[in-house]
Amino acid sequence: MPNSHSNSYFDSISDDENGKSKNHVQHLRNSSFTIMDMLSFGQLSQAIYIVAKFRIADYLKNGPKSVEELAEQSKTHPDSLYRLLRMLSSVGIFTESVEKEDGEKVINNNNKRKFDMTPKAALLQSETKGSIRNFALMFGLESFNRAINDLSYSIETGENSFKHANGLDMFEYFQQDQNRKDAQIFNSAMASLTSSYASSISSMYDFSQFNTVVDIGGGQGILLSILLKNNPNLSGILFDLPHAIESAKNQHINESTNSRSEDSKDFLSRCKLVEGDFFKSIPLGADGYIIKNVILNWDDDSAATILKNCSQAMEKTKSKATTSTTTMTVNDASQDDDKQNKNNPKLLIIDLIMPEGNKPFIGKFIDIVMLALTHKGRIRTEKEFHKLLNSSGFNITKIIHPSDNDNFLSIIEAIPSSSNQIILHDIT
């Protein structure tokens, strides 16, 4: 903690021949407190996890409540809860008010100290658009905390600290029966994240040009469901590991039994659910191949394997479509438009793209999380994507950057190198 001599360094600095002034002194002084603020970020992350865990935002849905009421509902210690909420209110998560009694504020009466919602706090509610509660819960998992606290191991060795701290790679860890609860929280967090940007992604690109799209590693099928809803003539293939497909199937079947959920009924009628492993093969029969938030999980060699399997699937699909087209009769010529896209399939990588230089970007923080949690996964720059795709048999034809502040994902459009069209458009 700062003492009476803590500013002596700053106070001893005087103007020099380069013109450093008191403004520079103030800048240095402010910088020290900024770093102190930064050091508290881990504490802030833990606090957000705690209020998510105890559903504090849910209890405030219908209006402000006293600390005593919140503590009783959440089964927490009133004064400790107050101190936590006071800290979060100072950064805009909740807001504190104190009732007045006889013209004086009552400081030590928990019944008089009330907290209310803010827009940031609303994101921690369970049932709200754009909720990040599941994401907050994920970062509170002991397995994640062990990995992040062991980050120095990753910096020293280049290997992921999750395995070093937990004994297994992250995806292997989640497949263990004893870790099912952690896996459920992780999957829910990924689903929440997809829900938050699915509509934005759908509006960034013309998906109506496709007949069929396959979402590779598509999880619950949230993005694919939005694409089908917004493009009535589109068909889909949801492709993922068996447990993910089973979960998606159960979710949409359960939702389709609700008479109000026409979207799930439509999804099941227009989408095939296919089990598989993208390291082994990719389904045929699509003219649009989507890889969303997958490449960042893997090192270049593993990512190249996925991309080469995509290329093989696209080439085989193209070959079948070409053969089918050449055997058409004159009367079948009207069907040619349906075959056209399958003759020229496209790959869409939906992912973060790391900017060059010192530009602030959330991906720079996520990149460190990937370092700690995955097997050499990383957020790649445009140059790194070009190198990776070129080595895997693709050429980038277009890059679309997000214009929506709530979305930080870009879309990279690529085609197999054997295709004739090689034109790069960078759209911001």
- Please give the structure tokens belonging to residue 59: 């209890």
Residue 123, helix vs strand vs coil:
coil
Radius of gyration of the chain from its Cα atoms, rounded to whole angstroms: 26
pLDDT tens, position by position, for the chain (428 residues)? Answer: 434 343 333 344 344 444 545 555 555 455 655 676 777 778 899 999 999 999 999 999 999 999 999 999 999 999 999 999 999 999 999 999 876 655 454 445 556 789 999 999 999 999 877 788 998 999 899 999 999 999 999 999 999 999 999 999 998 999 899 998 998 898 888 888 888 889 899 999 999 999 999 999 999 899 999 999 999 999 999 999 998 898 888 888 777 666 556 667 788 889 999 999 999 999 999 999 999 999 999 999 999 999 999 999 999 988 776 665 555 544 454 444 444 555 689 999 999 999 999 988 999 999 999 999 998 999 999 999 999 999 999 999 999 999 877 789 999 999 998 765 545 666 66
Look at residue 16 in the predicted model and tell me its pLDDT.
46
Question: Are residues 304 and 391 in contact, defined by beta-carbon separation less than 8 angstroms?
Answer: yes
**282 class by beta-carbon count within 10 Å (0-12 exposed, 13-18 middle, 19+ buried):** buried
Q: Output phi, psi for 159, to 5 deg.
A: -95, 160
**Site of tokens 């080439």:** 315
In order, the DSSP letters of 362-421 are HHHHHHHHHHHHSBS--PEEHHHHHHHHHHTTEEEEEEE----TT---EEEEEEETTSS-
CA 191 to chain centre: 9
User: Which domains are delineated in the chain?
Assistant: 42-123 (1.10.10.10), 181-427 (3.40.50.150)
CB atoms within 10 A of CB 14: 9
DSSP 8-state symbol, 298? B
Question: Are residues 114 and 69 in contact, defined by beta-carbon separation less than 8 angstroms?
Answer: no
Question: Are residues 399 and 412 in contact, defined by beta-carbon separation less than 8 angstroms?
Answer: yes
Taking CA atoms, 240 is separated from 7, 144, 198, 255, 394, in Å, by: 58, 24, 18, 20, 23
Q: Is the dihedral of CA 182, 183, 187, 190 positive or negative?
A: positive
Look at residue 100 in the predicted model and tell me its pLDDT.
62
Question: Are residues 271 and 221 in contact, defined by beta-carbon separation less than 8 angstroms?
Answer: yes
Look at residue 168 in the predicted model and tell me its pLDDT.
95
Look at residue 318 in the predicted model and tell me its pLDDT.
83
Look at residue 399 in the predicted model and tell me its pLDDT.
97
**Rounded-to-integer distance, Cα 428 and Cα 425, Å:** 10
Provide the phi-psi class of 252: left if phi over 0, else alpha when psi is between -120 and 50, else beta.
alpha
103 CB-near residues (< 8 Å, 6+ apart): none
